[in-house]
Amino acid sequence: MFDMKDIKNKVKVIAFDADDTLWDNQSYYDDAEKVFCSVLADYADRETVSSALLSTETRNMQDLGHGAKAFTLSMIETALELSGCCISGKKLEEILNAGKSVLKMSCCPLPGVREALEEIKASGKYEMALFTKGDLLDQRNKLVRSGLEEYFGHVGIVADKTVKEYGELCSRMGVDAGELVMVGNSFRSDIEPVLKIGGFGIHVPFERTWQHEVVEEYDHERLFRVTSFAEIPGLLL
């Protein structure tokens, strides 16, 4: 069994997820989806609209990836499908504006995030990286708006976060998998792939989870759980 001493003795790089780990992201998508469902109320009930949207997003993921732009295109495609291509230009404009609103989210750091990052950086013990998935420009803009750029010596923005991408991250950072700890809210994207390659994970659950990211969670000897970001320095330092 591993304990926190193993992280302190072995780990050289801490990688942090961004969305719903450093700042609130999902609530903005949820708000946009509420608008979308309202616009399509003449064609289907909310549950049907949301289910159709998730199916469209999942179907488009290989070509469009993640992020606000993929989300917006999937909303428009879903609207056309559910309306039989009869939806008005005015309603499409409302959907487009709802999608674009997600690009302007505030990205204010969640409670305790800035203080924890500051404490970890000041210790000089670890290299700190941001490792997130989504649209390149959108994710970079969100990082700038958050004001957290200064804490990360490396920023990695990828289309997806699987075993392959985490292996590539280790190569870029010049470390073995066992020298990496990943901090994030998504068990599917932030924790499970890291555990599979032999790294460590710190799971920080967020109050909302995108349905696509929901998977069955499990315990693991290299997995540590916290209830808030503020607890992380106490584990690592």
Per-residue tens of pLDDT for the chain, all 237 residues: 666 777 788 899 999 999 999 999 999 999 999 999 999 999 999 999 999 999 999 999 889 988 999 999 999 999 999 999 999 999 999 999 999 999 999 999 999 999 999 999 999 999 999 999 999 999 999 999 999 999 999 999 999 999 999 999 999 999 999 999 999 999 999 999 999 999 999 999 987 665 655 667 778 899 999 999 999 999 998
Please check whether residues 20 and 46 belong to one and the same domain. Answer: no
First CA to last CA across the chain, in angstroms?
20
Alpha carbons 120 and 142: distance in angstroms, whole number: 22
Buried b / exposed e along 60-71 (16+ C-beta atoms within 10 A) = beeebbbbbbbb
Please check whether residues 60 and 130 belong to one and the same domain. Answer: no
Alpha carbons 209 and 122: distance in angstroms, whole number: 31
Please check whether residues 41 and 57 belong to one and the same domain. Answer: yes
Contact (CB, 8 A) for 4 and 173: no
Residue 158 phi, psi dihedral angles, 5° rounding: -125, 165
Looking at the DSSP assignment, which residues form a beta bridge with residue 157? 132
Q: Which of 102, 127, 151 marks a domain boundary?
A: 102
Contact (CB, 8 A) for 37 and 66: no
Please check whether residues 167 and 217 belong to one and the same domain. Answer: yes
Alpha carbons 125 and 179: distance in angstroms, whole number: 12
**Domain around 96:** 26-102
Residue 5, pLDDT score:
74
**Residue 70, C-beta contacts closer than 8 angstroms, at least 6 positions apart:** 57, 60, 61, 64, 135
At 37, which amino acid appears?
C
Please check whether residues 37 and 131 belong to one and the same domain. Answer: no
Please check whether residues 114 and 82 belong to one and the same domain. Answer: no
Domain with residue 70: its CATH number is 1.10.150.240
Please check whether residues 230 and 146 belong to one and the same domain. Answer: yes
Please check whether residues 116 and 13 belong to one and the same domain. Answer: yes
Please check whether residues 229 and 127 belong to one and the same domain. Answer: yes
CB neighbourhood size of 18 (10 A): 24
Residue 136, pLDDT score:
93
Of 176, 134, 124, 185, nearest in space to 155 by CA: 134
Tokens of 51: 């289910």
Q: Which of 70, 102, 134 marks a domain boundary?
A: 102
Per the structure, the count of domains in the chain is: 2
Tokens of 116: 């924890």
Please check whether residues 96 and 77 belong to one and the same domain. Answer: yes
Q: Which of 55, 81, 102 marks a domain boundary?
A: 102
Residue 2, pLDDT score:
67
DSSP, res 104: T
Helix (H) or strand (E) holding 230: none
Residue 211, pLDDT score:
60
Contact (CB, 8 A) for 194 and 166: yes
Residue 187, pLDDT score:
93
Q: Where are the alpha helices (DSSP H) in 20-106?
A: 26-39, 46-64, 68-83, 89-102
Residue 7, pLDDT score:
76
Please check whether residues 20 and 45 belong to one and the same domain. Answer: no
